[in-house]
Amino acid sequence: MVRREAVATEDGRSISGLVWGEADPELVLLHGGSQNAHTWDTVALGLGRPLLAIDLPGHGHSDDGNDGAVTPSSIARDVVPVVQSLAPTASGVVGMSLGGLSAIALSRIAPKLVERLVLVDITPGVRAAKASQIREFVAGPESFATFEEMLARTIEYNPTRSESSLRRGALHNAVQRRDGTWVWRHQRGRQGSAGVPDVSPLWDDLSASAAPLMLVRGMRPQSVVDDADEAELRRRRPDARIEHIEHAGHSIQGDAPLELAELIVDFVFSESRRGPTTP
């Protein structure tokens, strides 16, 4: 069973999420920029556990961030009441790209909500140059005459994904205006892209976090994590578990959803029973 829930922030905005299962969610999933909670659908099926997948502020069915902000820190503040309300006993938080950076910020401002942390193809070492292909896609046309035009651009920038998978994802992430044109949900009412802010201070948050950590890195060229990022992560968090998926790019949840689900289950649930591992 999957249901949509909404939780109000302190200033009255609404943050939406998908709750999978009838029991208390065991995981919290935070998607990447320009995506929405449905990006996790196949991963959620592979996990087979009750979970909460949140639409980040300004994405999916959630209201915009406070004053339009969608930085990791502002997102983390907005996510706190959602997790407290819908998944207060979750065993782990999984964050991809912007969601991963927001999960790091969440571990700083609400450490009790992040028992274990999984980063999906992201570190605080991300820079504009590394994410150039993603930025180029996001900064594309503000609207499309037809949904098929929107899908064609999506296929062009996601060569490793099947058309059926991309079509389903695009349908969840698009909305048709009254004039018949189509826009991405994250761009409705807004123009352009804010680019990639400096998130390097999050390295210190990651170093200070007591939550067991796993990085899942895609090894295809579309990944935004390089060897230097991985080395810095190992230096700051020698206890971290690092996994490579050779046939995945940046969006591992789309390229290799079942492999990602297996890694999450093993790290969050199996390792938590075994206790910490020796690097």
Mean pLDDT of all residues in 32-47: 96
Categorise residue 67: left if φ over 0, alpha if ψ from -120 to 50, beta otherwise.
left
- Rounded-to-integer distance, Cα 265 and Cα 245, Å: 16
- Three-state DSSP class for 43? helix
Strands 174-176 and 117-120: unpaired
Whether 121 is catalytic: yes
Identify which of 185, 177, 152, 176 has the alpha carbon closest to the alpha carbon of residue 166: 152
Mean pLDDT of all residues in 206-220: 97
Whether 97 is catalytic: yes
pLDDT at residue 278 greater than cutoff 80: no
pLDDT at residue 277 greater than cutoff 50: no
Q: What percent of the chain stands above pLDDT 90?
A: 70
Position 275 scores a pLDDT of: 52
- Rounded-to-integer distance, Cα 43 and Cα 257, Å: 5
What is the band of 170 on the pLDDT scale with cuts at 50, 70, 90? confident
- Measure Cα distances from 40 to 23, 127, 154, 198, 275 in Å: 18, 24, 17, 26, 27
> Active site residue: 34, 62, 97, 251, which one?
97
What is the band of 103 on the pLDDT scale with cuts at 50, 70, 90? very high
- Give tens-digit pLDDT for 45-76: 999 999 999 999 999 999 998 877 789 999 99
pLDDT at residue 128 greater than cutoff 60: no
- Rounded-to-integer distance, Cα 51 and Cα 19, Å: 6
> Active site residue: 55, 121, 229, 255, which one?
121
pTM over 0.85: yes
**Angle (deg, nearest 10), helices 147-156 and 163-173:** 120
In this structure, of 34-38, 68-72, 272-276, the range with the lowest mean pLDDT score is 272-276
Architecture of domain 2-127+198-274: 3-Layer(aba) Sandwich (3.40)
Cβ atoms of residues 173 and 36 within 8 Å: yes
Strands 51-54 and 27-30: parallel
Q: Pick the residue with more confidence: 96 or 137?
A: 96
Whether 272 is catalytic: no
> Active site residue: 31, 59, 186, 250, which one?
250
- Domain locations in the chain as residue ranges: 2-127+198-274, 140-192
